[in-house]
Amino acid sequence: MASSTPDGFDVLVVGAGPAGMAAAVRAAECGICVGIVDDNAAVGGQIWRKSAEEDVTEDAKSWADCLKARQVTVLGGMHVFDQPEPGILLAESSDNRSVLHYEKLVLATGARERFLPFPGWTLPNVIGAGGLQAMVKCRLPIRGKRVVVAGTGPLLLAVAAYLKAHGAEILKICEQASWLTLLRFATSLLTQPAKIWQGIQLSQQLGGIPFLTSSWVAAAHGDKMLEAVTITSGSETETIDCDYLACGFHLVPNIELPILLGCEISDGFVQVNDLQETNVSGVFCAGEPTGIGGVELALVEGQIAGLAAASRIAEARHLFGKREGFRRFARSLQRAFRLRPELRMLAGPETIVCRCEDVMYAQLCPYTSWRSAKLQTRCGMGPCQGRVCGAATEFLFNWSLDSARPPVFPARVESLVAVRDIKQQDPQKIS
């Protein structure tokens, strides 16, 4: 297997979603050498993922065109899995690895869906809401399929509208937040007409579909795959036959790489200063890892990080006011879709929490920390490396991810050997 060592970058961006694209474009506009690396083959991240039949949005196309125009080096289909030395990252693709040298680093690693365990949640066709949308974009046939959408957050409505537009029969949308909480959230959007208009459009697209608040899935049923779900709404329960359950409890940031690099974490998010710089000198962070706030906030934070990494401080400061407006929306978002305590009671003693290692809820109850549970039960030590069960146990037991060890993604043995080589030799000589 060949190993490549591209020329060093003045600014390297990890993550090619909106925040990463914005950071790379603004840094490259300053006339410096910029690279962007992402585990997807194409830029855009999860939110701007292109389907087989549809064109990308105008915003996505505009930023992608800017990347090309500014001659940003795009390294697609590569996982960054380790930092053997400061200023060096190792990334691996399906058939290659790269040693990435940089002067400044922007982390725009995005977020993933949060899953909470309940009886039957591991059945086939119980899928994350965003995950099901992504699968449909990759040509999963959904026309005529009966779908229940459940969990919390604005993503539920967007996914339901997308699935309906592609022929799915949306049976119900179950939101765990209350009507009063949602009303307060809607009121907070009065200063952002674009958000209100998006809500109106979604409401029109979803007309006639039952939308339940203070409601969630209590169990999924089936023999070899999903056949029905039981929904709790207040004091009532209802069992509904369905083909798919699209379920997600908002988003959690991808902070494994920032933790590995030594970035300070507070309340589950990377801490940054006004210029989006972390406590690690020369390492910036933008987008969802600093706070779940949507694409508009991610774009502004990415631009600030890219300009600051390119030492264009005055230009970066001009965007501070715009960022604060979107941060207010992010704070409203967090308040509105905070998980209710009743959801901690969904898992029974024999409910699997860690799908990779088949660790059940009862096996985790005796432990007081993520670390002790991992050591004694192997929870979080499977292929996903805690990306699913880690967020669940954070909510269920109030545990926190206190450390990250390389590789932050599963890697081949020969790639791990390269880490040793770099530590023993002059990195510039590695090939």
Strands 169-175 and 146-152, sheet pairing: parallel
Question: Which residue's structure tokens are 């999924």?
Answer: 220
Tell me, what's the pLDDT at 217? Answer: 97
378, 354 contact by CB (below 8 A): yes
pLDDT(213) > 60: yes
Angle, CA 349 vertex, CA 345 and CA 354 arms, to 5°: 90
- How confident is the model over 59-84, as a mean pLDDT? 92
9, 308 contact by CB (below 8 A): no
Tokens representing 53? 């039949």
Q: For residues 57 and 117, which has the higher predicted lDDT (pLDDT)?
A: 117
- How confident is the model over 142-149, as a mean pLDDT? 98
Over residues 174-207, the pLDDT tens digits come to: 999 999 999 999 888 887 788 888 888 888 999 9
State the pTM of this model: 0.91
Partnered with residue 104 across adjacent β-strands are 11
Beta-carbon count within 10 A of 356 CB? 18
Tell me, what's the pLDDT at 104? Answer: 98
SS3 146: strand
User: Please, what's the largest Cα pairwise distance for the chain?
Assistant: 67
Please report, rounded to a whole number, the percentage of residues in the chain having pLDDT higher than 90.
75
Question: Nearest to residue 285, comparing CAs of 316, 268, 266, 263?
Answer: 263
305, 270 contact by CB (below 8 A): no
Over residues 293-307, the pLDDT tens digits come to: 999 999 999 999 999
Tell me, what's the pLDDT at 426? Answer: 54
Over residues 304-347, the pLDDT tens digits come to: 999 999 999 999 999 999 999 899 989 999 999 999 999 999 99
C-alpha 415/C-alpha 95 separation (Å) is: 11
Mean pLDDT of the chain: 91
